[in-house]
C-alpha cells in the first residue's frame, strides 16, 4: 500500500511539473537556456550600446546605505555589473515567465546588509518607486517578489506585480521596471517606461 501511494505521489508530481512548464514557459538566458534557480547571472541591457549591467549604486545623498539597484554607465570599457541569483517563490528549478521570484546580488557590501531587491516607498518628489537593497522583508511580504514578462518584441522586462499565494494579501499597485537617470546615475525604478534586459550566465 505504501509503495502504491508513493507511486501515485510521483505520478502527480510529474503531471504538476508538466502542467507548470506548459502554462508558464521558462525565461531563457542569452544562450537560449532556461534561467535556473541558484545560478549566478549578469543582468544586461538588451541594447548593448545603452549602458552596462545592473549593479549596486550609492546615491551619495549623505548616507552610503541603503544601496540602490542601478546600471553601470556607458564607458570605453563597459562593465557587466554584479551577478545576481534568482530564487522562485514556489518550489521549482527554473525561473518562469510571470511567476514570482526573489533576486539578490551576490557577495557582500560595505553596508553589511541584505543584497536582495525590494520595492521602496514612492518618492514624494519624483513619484517613483525605487528598487533598493539593504532591507529584510518578511518571507510573506510582497515588496521583494518580482517577475519577468516578455514584451511585444520578444524581450524580457522586470515587473513588480506579485501573485498572492495566501489569498488574503491586497492587490499591489503593479509596475514595470525601467531605467531613469538622476544625478548622473542610472537607477532601476518602477512607474516609468519599461527597459528590456537579457541574462548571461556568469
pLDDT at 5 over 50: no
Mean pLDDT computed over 32-53 = 93
Q: Report the distance separating Cα 13 and Cα 137, nearest Å.
A: 31
pLDDT at 74 over 70: yes
Three-class SS state of 170:
coil
Is-contact 101 39, C-beta < 8 A?
Answer: no
43: in domain? yes
Which CATH number characterizes residue 194's domain? Answer: 2.80.10.50
Q: Report the distance separating Cα 84 and Cα 146, nearest Å.
A: 13
pLDDT at 61 over 80: no
Please write the tens of the pLDDT for every residue from 98-139.
999 999 999 878 888 889 999 988 888 888 899 999 877 666
The candidate with the shortest Cα–Cα distance to 146, out of 50, 57, 54, is 54
The pLDDT assigned to 126 comes to 83
50: in domain? yes
Task: Report residue 50's pLDDT band, with 50, 70 and 90 as the boundaries.
Answer: confident
Q: Report the distance separating Cα 111 and Cα 58, nearest Å.
A: 11
Three-class SS state of 145:
coil
What's the pTM value of the predicted model, to 2 decimals?
0.84
46: in domain? yes
Number of domains the chain is built from: 1
Percent share of the chain, pLDDT over 70: 82
Secondary structure (DSSP) of 24-87: SPBPB-TTSPBPBTT-EEEEEESSTTS---EEEE---SS---SPEEEEPPP-SS------EEEE
Domain of residue 166: give its range: 25-201
20: in domain? no
Q: Report the distance separating Cα 40 and Cα 81, nearest Å.
A: 12
13: in domain? no
Task: Report residue 147's pLDDT band, with 50, 70 and 90 as the boundaries.
Answer: very high
With cell 546580488, the residue in question is 105
Task: Report residue 91's pLDDT band, with 50, 70 and 90 as the boundaries.
Answer: confident
Amino acid at each position: 500500500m505504501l509503495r502504491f501511494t508513493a507511486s501515485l505521489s510521483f505520478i502527480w508530481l510529474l503531471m504538476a511539473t508538466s502542467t507548470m512548464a506548459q502554462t508558464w514557459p521558462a525565461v531563457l538566458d542569452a544562450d537560449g537556456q532556461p534561467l535556473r534557480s541558484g545560478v549566478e547571472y549578469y543582468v544586461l541591457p538588451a541594447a548593448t550600446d545603452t549602458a552596462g549591467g545592473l549593479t549596486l549604486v550609492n546615491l551619495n545623498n549623505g548616507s552610503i546605505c541603503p544601496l540602490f539597484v542601478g546600471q553601470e554607465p556607458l564607458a570605453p570599457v563597459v562593465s557587466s555589473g554584479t551577478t545576481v541569483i534568482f530564487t522562485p517563490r514556489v518550489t521549482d528549478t527554473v525561473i518562469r515567465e510571470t511567476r514570482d521570484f526573489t533576486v539578490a546580488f551576490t557577495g557582500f557590501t560595505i553596508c553589511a546588509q541584505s543584497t536582495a531587491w525590494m520595492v521602496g516607498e514612492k518618492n514624494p518628489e519624483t513619484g517613483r518607486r525605487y528598487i533598493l537593497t539593504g532591507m529584510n522583508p518578511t518571507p510573506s511580504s510582497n515588496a521583494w517578489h518580482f517577475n519577468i514578462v516578455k514584451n511585444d518584441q520578444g524581450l524580457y522586462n522586470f515587473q513588480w506585480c506579485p501573485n498572492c499565494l495566501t489569498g488574503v494579501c491586497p492587490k499591489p499597485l503593479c509596475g514595470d521596471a525601467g531605467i531613469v537617470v538622476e544625478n548622473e546615475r542610472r537607477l532601476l525604478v518602477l512607474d516609468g517606461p519599461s527597459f528590456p534586459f537579457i541574462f548571461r550566465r556568469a
